[in-house]
Amino acid sequence: MTRRILFATAVLCAVFAGLALAADISGNWSGTMQAGDSPVPLTFAFKQDGEKLTGTVTGPGGPLELNEGKVVGDKVTFYVQTDMGGTLTKFISEGVIKGEEITLNIRADSGMDFGPTLLKRIK
């Protein structure tokens, strides 16, 4: 009986600790993506509801809606789509949240990889 109580207590503590560590990235973030020799300033407006992530990213071409956004633990994923010279292009972002910073790896569905982009929360 005592072992069951200790086990149940340990499981509950682990669950609550995991919930406490889950990041809420709602708010505005900025960073610069490197596209070859050209720096591209980006501003993200995230809205998180549990694991669901919505919002926009604004760059030189204006705002784009985030699609299929998710935050699971310290991982974030989403994509945006834009017209690139008559071709609809998907930009897929996968990243890691570390406090007030997010490191995103951004790649186009065509295979072009833009490498890591560091985002910082705008205060």
Q: Which tens digit of pLDDT belongs to each residue from 73-100?
A: 999 999 999 998 899 999 999 999 999 9
Which pLDDT does position 84 carry in this prediction? 86
SS (H, E, C) 8-75: HHHHHHHHHHHHHHCCCCCEEEEEEEEECCEEEEEEEEEEEECCEEEEEEEECCEEEECEEEEEECCE
CA–CA distance, 63 with 43 (Å, rounded to integer): 9
Domain span at 61 = 24-121
Quickly state the pLDDT bin for 48 (edges 50, 70, 90). very high
- For residue 72, give the CATH number of its domain: 2.40.128.120
Which pLDDT does position 70 carry in this prediction? 98
Domain-located, residue 86: yes
Q: State the sign of the Cα–Cα–Cα–Cα dihedral 60, 26, 76, 116.
A: positive
Q: Is 95 exposed, middle or buried (0-12, 13-18, 19+ CB in 10 A)?
A: buried
CA–CA distance, 86 with 65 (Å, rounded to integer): 19
Quickly state the pLDDT bin for 2 (edges 50, 70, 90). low
- Bridge-based pairing state of the strands 67-72 and 52-59: antiparallel
Domain-located, residue 68: yes
- What is the domain count for the chain? 1
Domain-located, residue 3: no
Domain-located, residue 18: no
> Which of the 8 DSSP states describes residue 111?
S
Domain-located, residue 14: no
